[in-house]
């Protein structure tokens, strides 16, 4: 079965050749989201909580554009520039996944630009 790209109307232009989301067989793969506003400007410079909130809102936007919600997320892949931000990221993350949170992993990684503190990619199963 072919897949189709999913791009919310307010999504910033991708930094590389990718779609914000790809839907295949009722599975939505959400690309690694960064803290960017709709014009492609950094949100929350130096503030991992603000960046996490922005990233999760971007993921939510892709899910909604595909007809889903955060409740459909089965797996999150979290990348932090600094593991010292782990607790602060989790404070915000808990607000978005308060009940039966999805599986996930979190690793330290160099992100595409030095100002980015967090990146999250998701996999969701839509009914």
Q: With cut-offs at 50, 70 and 90, classify the pLDDT of residue 2.
A: confident
Please name every residue paired with 73 in a beta bridge, in sequence order, or none if there are none: 124
Region 68-83: what's the mean pLDDT?
A: 98
At residue 57, does pLDDT exceed 70?
yes
> What domains sit in the chain, N to C, each tagged with a CATH number?
4-125 (3.30.1330.40)
Q: How deeply is 71 buried, as exposed, middle or buried, from its count of CB atoms within 10 A (0-12, 13-18, 19+)?
A: exposed
Region 4-31: what's the mean pLDDT?
A: 93
Whole-model pTM?
0.96
Place of tokens 């803290």: 35
At residue 22, does pLDDT exceed 90?
yes
pLDDT of residue 13: 84
Question: Is-contact 12 35, C-beta < 8 A?
Answer: no
């Amino acid at each position: 079965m072919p897949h189709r790209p999913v791009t919310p109307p307010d999504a910033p232009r991708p930094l590389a050749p990718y779609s914000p989301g790809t839907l295949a067989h009722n599975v939505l793969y959400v690309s690694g989201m960064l803290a960017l506003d709709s014009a492609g400007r950094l949100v929350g410079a130096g503030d991992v909580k603000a960046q996490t909130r922005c990233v999760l809102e971007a993921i939510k936007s892709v899910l909604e554009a595909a007809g889903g919600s955060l409740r459909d997320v089965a797996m999150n892949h979290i990348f932090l520039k600094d593991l010292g931000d782990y607790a602060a990221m989790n404070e915000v993350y808990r607000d978005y996944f308060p009940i039966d949170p999805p599986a996930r992993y979190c690793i330290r990684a160099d992100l595409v630009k030095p100002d980015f503190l967090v990146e999250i990619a998701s996999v969701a199963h839509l009914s």
